[in-house]
Structure 1
Amino acid sequence: MPGIFTVSLDLELYWGVRDARSIASYESNLRGERDAIRGMLQLFDEHAVHATWATLGFLFYKDADELRRNLPEVLPDYRRQQLSSYRYLQEHAWNTADDPYHFAPEMVELIRDYDGQEIGTHTFSHYYCLEDGQTLEAFRADLKAALAAARSHGIPIASLVFPRNQSNQEYLAVLDELGIACYRGNENAAFYTPRNQREQNLIVRASRLLDSYINLSGYHTYALEDCARSRPFNIPSSRFLRPYSRSLAPLEGLRLRRIKRAMLDAATGGRLFHLWWHPHNFGANTARNLACLAEVLGYYGYLRERFGMQSLNMGEVANLLEDMHAGQA
């Protein structure tokens, strides 16, 4: 079986960083995000790369008034209330006539117009599954609202990405219950273990940063037989595509080599490599970030020609795993 190159993106606009940054402090990224998305789509199209856009349910609505009419009945009661996007929605009023930060139905439609691009879900509200105070019932309600938002655009949802990679094993049954076939799990290393925000200490963050440049934890490529063992299917992350950093620019070669070596391992071993990032990561230094992506996709093209590597989005991988799962039964 040929290796598989999978790409997923966490499309969330300001909702994804709202509890950590002000709009003013992150405005260049947010303002540039739409142009970055257009550039990514063009590159995916040029290189015949399929991708999953795990899209926050809030983004499907045109403004705050429409969103407020479609909130779930059960809301999370986080112990740290600043984590709640619902609380933010209640406490803030903003000009919806020109709002690049909170809503993007036109971008959802643009993405779905491109071949091979899958719209997945990133929950409705950027729901945190490991934070104190939230519950299984609230998660189910949030996810139902996300699916309803997508259905209002005629989009079925098969794939999920947990916000902040807080995958909660106790919640997987809800995905299966609601018809979600797969999710993006975490790399198998101690510093990638799912954690809540309080547990994201300096050592954990520094280890992940260093691992982006130096191979501390392995290639994180995966045998499809392992991914196919149980539903919903775990299609784990292999590597976060970190955005360009001026302070780390001298290490760019190491960052790309780290990614390419893992891709090569997947291509030659018939395994899966899963690359991910947030579109807003590319909103600043957009040209440099797109150039880096172009090099990664160009390398995928080489691996496709040399070893037959395939590009599949998460939903397409799940279809393949479903066939394998049936064969394992």
Structure 2
Amino acid sequence: MNDKAGVFTISLDTELAWGMFDKSNIDKYKHAYRNTPEVINRLCELFDEYEIPATWAVVSHLLEDCDGDHSDRTSPDFEWVNDWFGELPCSGGMDKDLWYAPWLIDRIQDCKTEQEVGLHGSTHMQLGADGCSRQHAEEEIGAAVETLRGYGVKPKSFVFPRNDIGHVDMLREHGIEVYRGTDARWYERASIPGSVQPPLRFADEAIRGTPPVVEPVERDGVVEIPGTQVFRPSNGGWQYTPGGSSVARAKKGLEHAARTGGVFHLWFHPFNLGHEPERDLERLERVLSVVREFVADGALECRSLKDMASGR
């Protein structure tokens, strides 16, 4: 066992339907979105029970009762959507259960184990995609920070929508200190066609590949903490991988971090667990129970992204 304790951190892309509004497939996930408030409540209970200080990366528009007026912002020139702000759900009315969660910050902050509220953008704009200029990034990040400050939160952590990283220096200008980097797998970081990545991800899951450990690294004055493992749900094709593969992989990754003193960074979207909440929350609890064993032995520490950046 390494003399230095490893670190377990978890980041949550907290977005409800905002992550899919530009992909025109909201109905596919509607059942999961409606279950997400209860999933969030159960996650808070689990994080309290196992003393896990998670980082909740929030799409700030969840907190705003949107009236459709974004006249102070310019639309990015994305090839897959004609008018970003013209397509926002608030411009044509919205089902508030899918898009609006003003209770979210209070619920996160009510946890007994301190949780971190970070950012996942204002409208889930892909900041690294072609067509997103520095001005678009400045407006997207600035609007998100302003919204959270209205709730008394000064965000220090950022998760890039769809892990599409760009304009990192803009984070620093808005007081952001740390962000989640691309997963530390060659097929996530290599310049290979996007169509090739899904089967590689499936294969990695199917063979129960050991997730890598990572280390924080500074980029453009902001700390990057790469992802280690996505906690896969029991739907969307992942149910066809061998039973318990995500749990087995997480256990391997935790053992690796405890042995080497590295960082194991687990992440997922809360709505991912909304298709089969009981089953998937039980699977996640099995991972957290392993974390608790390593913490009790002094082999792991649990930290939020913010605390890792500050060296706590």
Query: What TM-score, normalized to structure 1?
Result: 0.86
Query: For the Cα contact (< 8 Å) 1:37–1:279, is it kept in 2?
Result: yes
| Counterpart Cα distance in 1 of 2:270 and 2:238 | 21
Partner of 1:87: 86
Deviations 1:129-170 (A, max 9, x none): 2333221111111100000000111111000000001012xx
Deviation of the 1:283 alpha carbon: 1.1
Structure 2, unaligned runs of 5 or more: none
Matches within 5 A, 1:130-209: 130-168=128-166, 171-193=167-189, 199-201=193-195, 203-209=196-202
TM-score by length of 2: 0.90
SS of 1:138 mapped into structure 2: helix
- Helix, strand or coil at the partner of 2:79: coil
* Alignment partner of 1:237 is 2:227: yes
CA contact (8 A) 1:182 1:231 kept: no
| Matched positions, count | 307
SS of 1:235's partner is: strand
RMSD across aligned positions (CA):
2.4
Which residue number corresponds to residue 271 of structure 1? 262
Aligned to 1:13: 16
- In the TM superposition, residue 311 of structure 1 has moved relative to its aligned partner by 0.8
1:214 maps to which residue? 207
Write out aligned runs for 1:5-44 (5 A): 5-44=8-47
**Residue of structure 2 equivalent to 1:312:** 303
The answer as to whether partners of 1:56 and 1:124 remain within 8 angstroms in 2 is yes
Amino acid at match of 1:234: E
CA contact (8 A) 2:223 2:309 kept: yes
* 8 A contact 2:208–2:248 mirrored in 1: no
Residue in 2 that maps onto 1:102:
99
Task: State how far apart, in whole Å, the 2-side matches of 1:118 and 1:143 are.
Answer: 18
Contact conserved, 1:165 with 1:194, CA < 8 A, in 2?
A: no
Q: Alpha-carbon deviation of 1:124?
A: 0.7
CA distance in 2, matches of 1:82, 1:100: 26
Percent pairwise identity: 28
Q: Helix, strand or coil: the match of 2:242?
A: helix
**Distance apart, 1:306 and its partner CA:** 2.3
Selected match of 2:66 from 35, 54, 64: 64
Instruction: From the superposition, tell whether residues 104 and 71 of structure 1 become closer, same or farther in structure 2 (CA, over 3 Å).
Output: farther
Q: Which amino acid aligns with 2:81?
A: Q
Q: Give the 3-state SS of the residue equivalent to 1:180 in structure 2.
A: coil
**Aligned counterparts of 1:194 and 1:123: Cα–Cα separation in 2:** 25
Alpha-carbon distance change, 161 to 41 in structure 1, aligned in 2, over 3 angstroms = same
Q: 1:261 corresponds to which residue?
A: 252
User: Between Structure 1 and Structure 2, which shows a larger proportion of helix residues?
Assistant: 1
